[in-house]
Amino acid sequence: MFINTLFTNPIHFFRVVVIVIISITLHELAHGWAAMSQGDDTPERTGHLTPNPVVHMGWESIIFLCLAGIAWGKMPVNPYKFRWGKLSNILVSAAGPLCNLALAILCISLCKFFLYSPFRQIASVEFIYMAARINLILFLFNLIPLPPLDGFYVFSEIFPKLKALENSQFASLALFLLFLIPGIGATLGYIANFIIAIGLR
């Protein structure tokens, strides 16, 4: 369990928790801002255009993050209010993962700057690297075309046959199995490390 890290490596534990909470909060806000831009005022009406992570994640998600290292968020939107139908749904759904990708690119740039500058001592390159890695993992994971992940709502608009998965038990089982397969997290982490390595060249 991830909670064991609190006792074996508390600095790593708190770094992960802080990065994940900030990243998920910004991820959900990106969905909300995109929805607002597409004519849906649901995020604003429900009070979700706030930097408060409890609003976006809920205490259950934050507690589960501390216990198991897994968390989630939610941004209420109403697709029926979207200005451009399918295109708006793609834009709103993609906004969250793209926010994580943008955060990762920013962190990689900061890593590169501090690694090769005389100001290296004023920032923790390890922390920034970890933020880049976590955001890349969030980006890649959310692109998986299984509900309720963002990738499903993007790809199901492009490939309508995928919509049959939305309420199917198979999709729920497949998503659950993703968390149980040991190699999934390691594979996403490896890809993230590879991308960062290229960015730091």
Output DSSP code: residue 51: S
What are the distances in angstroms from CA 12 to CA 3, 4, 104, 114? Answer: 11, 11, 18, 20
C-alpha count within 13 angstroms, C-beta hemisphere, residue 186: 4
Looking at this protein, which amino acid is placed at residue 25?
Answer: T
Spatial separation of the C-alpha atoms in residues 171 and 74, rounded to whole Å: 19
Please say if 28 is a catalytic residue: yes
Provide Rg for the chain, Cα atoms: 18
Among the listed residues 28, 60, 157, 166, the single catalytic one is 28
Annotated catalytic sites, by residue?
A: 28
